[in-house]
Amino acid sequence: MKSVQVAIDGPSGAGKSTIAKELSKKLGFVYIDTGAMYRAVGLYVVNKGISIHDEAGVVAVLDDIDIDIYYKDELQHINLCGEDVTHLIRTPEISMAASKVSSYMKVREKLVDMQRKLGEKYSVIMDGRDIGTCVLPNANVKIYLTADVKVRAKRRFDELIEKGQDVTYEYVLSDMEKRDYDDSHREHSPLRRADDAIELDTADLTLEESIAAVRRIISERTGI
Ligand code: DC
């Protein structure tokens, strides 16, 4: 049977990964968190002491960056050059680094190629910024998830606090506003809703309601 592709795009904190993870489990699909791949590149660059603003420096080490995605206990893990960095990529510093390196075309080419191969091999729910517009333009279902930036920042702040990170709400909000701006104004594959994507605003929805709404859209579009 041909693989089924569900593309979920939107700004950070809209609920993409939580919803995609949950529904992949329910549907038996593979969940692909493409942001984690950009984060892994960001982490590599930071660890090597290369400035994230040095495009030529970043591009020069791209071939050395070996990213492997695998699944353990139904969760996506990401290995960077053989080391499991699943948790190391979730800091505010690496969020910023990911956003910056994701603006470089050569970085995007490498990761989009990996993402397309995964989308051909498996039935996937893939989340990111350019899945419906660029990575999987023929996806069976395209959803654009959004919510007011203050709501998204509060969700991300609560998540980081729960993980024991030392951040303030104001910091998370300004970080998110900057990333929203950068991700949607960059030259290559900026964040935008695909013309044929269904937009879902999750600001006034609970997580359960958001999951149910996305589940309904998938069902209407695919009969699954
Ligand atoms: O979804 P996230 O917050 O983990 O993504 C981190 C950064 O990676 C985000 O600021 C923009 C970039 N990104 C991208 O450019 N394209 C994608 N498909 C996914 C993420």
**pLDDT one-digit tens code per residue, 97-141:** 999 999 999 999 999 999 999 999 999 999 999 999 999 999 999
For a pocket test of ligand 1, which of 183, 186, 187 has the largest count of ligand atoms closer than 8 A to its C-beta? 183
Structure-derived torsion over alpha carbons of residues 191, 193, 194, 197, reported in degrees to the nearest 10: 140
User: Cβ(183) to ligand 1 under 6 A?
Assistant: yes
149-188 pLDDT, tens digit per residue, is: 999 999 999 999 998 989 999 999 999 999 999 999 999 9
Which residues neighbour 89 within 8 Å (Cβ) at sequence distance 6 or greater?
Answer: 36, 39, 40, 42, 43, 78, 98
**Whether residue 129 has its Cβ less than 6 Å from ligand 1:** yes
Tens digit of each residue's pLDDT (9 = 90 or more) over 78-109: 999 999 999 999 988 999 999 999 999 999 99
Q: Whose CA is nearest to atom 2 of ligand 1?
A: 35
Sheet order of strands, 67-72 included: 67-72, 75-80, 83-84
- Among the atoms of ligand 1, which is closest to the Cα of residue 130? 18
Is the CB of 128 within 6 Å of ligand 1?
yes
Q: Is 179 in the pocket of ligand 1 (CB under 6 A)?
A: yes
Predicted structure pTM score: 0.96
